[in-house]
Structure 1
Amino acid sequence: MSSSSVSASISHAGPIPTSSSSSAQCYYPDGKTLAPDTPCRPADAESPCCRPDDFCMDNGLCYHRGVMSRGSCTDKYWRNSACPQYCRRDHTEGAQPLQPCDMLNGIFVCGTSNYDCPTGNRTFKVEGGNAFVLRPGQVASSPKDAVTIEPSTMISGRFSSAQMVAGIVGTGVPFLLLLLGALLVILKQRRKYKNAIASSHERAIESWKHDARSVSTTPNKAFDRRHGANAVELYSPNENEYEVYGDAIQAHELDARDRSSSIAKDTYVTR
């Protein structure tokens, strides 16, 4: 599953359910808590469930405003394969969000923290997620809003890209906003990473400048005659010396024979 495949296609949950199937109860993994959810596939014997304002995904997970979560199931004991297969032992008395570690490769971790992402502990790959499963309340109810489906373009009960666009406009389902939300999450993570790198680099530079300024200076007339009165002589214990002109740093070594001082290595910083 990739970040761009979340809204790849749409499929119907099946025929309009009977009153008995549509009234099925949904349970969280603890088997005791009744969830305020509705079945994603009400025509099936058992089905994953999501909140009414969520979108069901073809892998049994729920999707809402850029966040995937494990919802509930009509099987009270969660023994049926139709129940969500992810994060079943986490927060068993309620819904459990999934935190992306690597969106491009579909790697997630249960919960809202990415603490385990760098180590790979408790991370897993989310399969599927290539289609939304529309429940009856999310499907166009009037003929003018209905999406025309040609048999030649219908594949495994899913719409083509053109039909999906028509469905977005006709039914008013904000898939475009959902897709933009997912893209914003990715861009925010990339921006945060770049800012962290830049901030770390700036701190390192400022630390270096602070260390350079903290070195004591001593008047040296011979030095001033040789390098000018605008230069400051600083002692450096390093093998390589650094001469700073604004933001440019040039490493060089000084010949001890050119110095009357016993210090073989010096650093020059222009004021």
Structure 2
Amino acid sequence: MLYQCLLALCFLTASSLAAQTKKTCYSLDGQELDGRFQPCNPDAEFSSCCALDGTDGENDICMDSGLCMSTSGWFSTYLWANGCTDPTGKAKACPQQCNFMPSGYSFNVLQCDANNGSFCCRSGSDEDNCCTTESRVFQAATTIGQILLPGTDQVVNTTYSTILPNSSKDHSRVVGGVVGGVLGAALIASLIALFMLLRSRKALRNDYSSLQQDRDTLLQQGFNEKAALQQELEQQRLAYQQYHMAQAPTYTPAQQYPAAYYQASAALPMPMGTDSRGYPTEVSGLARPVEMDTMRGASELSDETASQKVERTEVSPNKAD
């Protein structure tokens, strides 16, 4: 909002300056004036010109008579006939007070007698008192002019017929009032702009805080959703692992030798049999046949060896005999 107002103010100021520079100001002798001089009423067909664009900020005050009141230094409250937008100087809006004078660039208008309203004209470079030269004195019908509001044809109801060259102190009050009014208006405008700037900054600060809160809320929601998703995935992984462990076969390592090798199985009755000598034996289906045969062969070999020893014992006495 503040930037829009500033842009609008800059646009209006630029438009006003552009409007003022549309028309060229000319001196009383028809020479083109420099950029300091601007039309007092740029919207009019012809307008008097005053120093309204002074670099030092001490601009003239436009009068409805076409004259300009200076506010610069020692020339403060002095009246000047500078020129107008009509290069011939014959337009009604142009200053006519010093037309009886020889052609000149500009004229300074001094008040000679406040009682009879007499004034005189002198060249802008002349420092003499023109009131002592009768050929330079003229009579003003009523007043020498009223203050003209810049950019309009309206006047302030203030007369200057009693202004004397040495009465600048009295007139400085009026000039001070006008300048004070302008400065007061500028101060009020500055305060309004400052208020709008502070209000705009406060609104921006509130918007920034609201955005920060929204960001923190969204981040927290994202963290919570991520943690919940991780927990759910962990639960699914554990359930999947437990399911597959329950379905997997259990492997039990076998013993080095079957238990039936050493003893009969209680679940199946062992069949009874006899060996070659007629002794009863238990035959297990899990016993190793080779070992059983080996054991049987060893027994038979043992019996054969024993019988041979008996035969040798029985034969020996006969040999001795």
Q: TM-score range by the shorter chain?
A: 0.3 to 0.5
TM-score (norm: length of structure 1): 0.42
Query: Based on CA coordinates, which of the two structures has the bigger radius of gyration?
Result: 2
TM-score (norm: length of structure 2): 0.36
Which structure has the highest helix share of the two?
2
Which structure has the highest strand share of the two?
1
